[in-house]
Structure 1
């Protein structure tokens, strides 16, 4: 049975991008951060959907603010990671380290 509380890979990436962006996290910069860090093309709609899903789960909180950074005075939905998300990210990092433990030589042997 699937654990519905576990983070999917893309959700994990989105949360980490939001953390990196701090107070400037809304869809467009998140897309740019993901693309620059992963080297993959990211659809803004995918980020928007992931953010809504994460907010529903209590892993991000959002608020509408006026973004006047480019002089547009446009209202945008800014997001921030919650403490619950930080706990889940830490648990996921621990799990990955545990799974990789003892396999470090695997990557070196195949080089």
Structure 2
């Protein structure tokens, strides 16, 4: 297992602290989740760095763990069902598609899934 985890949260530069327009509170929830993960890993002797990076229009927002996108790390993992609805404002969407709703300020990706992605990144060579 690696002894260092670098987490980079890439957000649209025109919408600091969000992944998408309609997910206004998602930034605070994501920040809290990442801080909790960092605290737990540091208690286990793993150095954690968290960076927030604005991405210009057309860039790829998202969360990277040691340079690996969250989506790649969570591929094949079971995700609890959540309602879907049309959303043209989601990060990375060029056209209207369906995405998980950010209900009551929660991130579209459950915090436990983010934690599992972080652990998988530590195990990836």
Higher relative contact order by CA 8 Å / sep ≥ 6: 1 or 2? 2
Q: Is the TM value for this pair above 0.5?
A: no
Structure number with larger C-alpha Rg: 1
**Structure in which a larger fraction of residues adopt helix:** 1
The two structures have a TM-score, normalised by structure 2, of 0.27
